[in-house]
Amino acid sequence: MAEVHIIGQIIGAREFPKQEVFCKWHLQIGNNWRVIEGKKEGQTQVSSSQFTEACNWSYPIDIHLATAGIKGWPKIYVEVYHLDWLGRAHLFGYGLITIPTSPGRHILNCYTWRPTGNLRDRVVEYFLGGGQYIKYPDLIFSSEKRYKMSTEAMGVVIFELDLILRNFNNYGVEY
């Protein structure tokens, strides 16, 4: 079995309209893949900043994977939420990044989006907060059903990941 180590951090969020954001992440892998050690999902702390617009999480990621094939190369799926002053969490963005297939250090920008509602939804959101979210999150991974959605751009989640690969050469896999 070839092995992959993903070691790094979620640095933080940029360009979101508000502070006090947190992020839920989840590792998405194919059937051939197995998590040997490490957490495959998690949630960061709520982060804010007084002097800059950047919210940093410095959230560590450390995953050890084994695979019998390169199909279903891991992806990280994130949901960014905003925690408002009443303690309510509102969706601020969905995003997906593919883990690079080359070893070494990578800085990855995850550009996030969220669904937009109609005019009425927007008026409600303006006064009451909240917003639209997806009922079935598998829509985020599927490339077939996306066409039914209308979305808007949100901020960027920045990842810094170090990849270590092992034994891929033994199976004749070039990367």
Q: What are phi and psi of 72, to 5 degrees?
A: 80, 40
Distance CA 125, CA 24 (A): 22
State the minimum distance, in angstroms, from the CB of residue 40 to other proteins: 12
3-state secondary structure of 86: coil
Number of residues that bind other proteins (CB under 8 A): 45
Distance CA 122, CA 6 (A): 39
3-state secondary structure of 110: strand
118 lies in the binding site for other proteins (CB under 8 A)? no
15 lies in the binding site for other proteins (CB under 8 A)? no
CB atoms within 10 A of CB 145: 12
Using alpha carbons, list the distances in angstroms from residue 166 to 6, 37, 169.
12, 15, 8
58 lies in the binding site for other proteins (CB under 8 A)? yes
State the minimum distance, in angstroms, from the CB of residue 165 to other proteins: 5
Nearest residue (CB) to other proteins, 78 versus 132? 78
Nearest residue (CB) to other proteins, 15 versus 37? 37
Nearest residue (CB) to other proteins, 22 versus 132? 22
State the minimum distance, in angstroms, from the CB of residue 148 to other proteins: 32
Burial 130-139 (b: 16+ CB within 10 A, else e): ebbeeeeeee
Q: Which of 134, 139, 165, 173 binds other proteins (CB under 8 A)?
A: 165
Residues that bind other proteins (CB under 8 A): 3, 5, 7-9, 11-12, 20, 22, 36-39, 42-50, 52, 54-56, 58-60, 62, 64, 83, 102-105, 162-170
